[in-house]
Amino acid sequence: MDLNKIFALFDNKTENKSLTETDNTVVELYEKPLYWVNMFEKLIRNNNVFKLQLKNTFKDDHYDPDMLCEAGDALVYNKAFMFLLLLDLNDEDHRHAIRTRTTYSYLVVALITSMNYFTSTEEYEKCAVIKKILDLAMESLEA
């Protein structure tokens, strides 16, 4: 594994090397709707693991574990939501990515969990975005 190539994905100035064709292919994957849906799902799914790690990391310190978990939730749910904002439900490729992940994954549960979180924080605009995606996901399950 060449660490310089990995770091070059984030900064093409590393050792004055430009990205190779393979590197550009990896970067292009980050620009695909299926990647965005997968990342949303993964962040939500791994949130409980993240909270457990927070509690274990700070268990002997004077930090309030509940406050840390609340902060962790805010970070994770908002970052995951940013991936949903990239989706355009009028674009067939984006709709296909949602249908694909709904068939084989935890996407519906992640969407419902996210909607519950944003309802509890009274961020209803975010709930409206999630609801549209959830409706599409549910349609694909019924088909």
Residue range 92-121, pLDDT digits in tens: 999 999 999 987 778 999 999 999 999 999
Confidence of residue 14 (pLDDT cuts 50, 70, 90): very low
Q: Mean pLDDT across the stretch 65-69?
A: 80
28 Cβ neighbours under 8 A, 6+ residues apart: none
* Whether pLDDT at 127 is above 90: yes
* Whether pLDDT at 25 is above 80: no
pLDDT at 134: 96
Torsion on CA atoms 46, 47, 48, 52, rounded to nearest 10 = 100
Distance in angstroms (rounded) separating the CA atoms of residues 141 and 108: 10
pTM beyond 0.85, yes or no: no
pLDDT at 84: 97
Q: Mean pLDDT across the stretch 50-54?
A: 80
- Whether the CB-CB separation of 113 and 44 falls below 8 Å is answered with yes
pLDDT at 19: 57
pLDDT at 9: 59
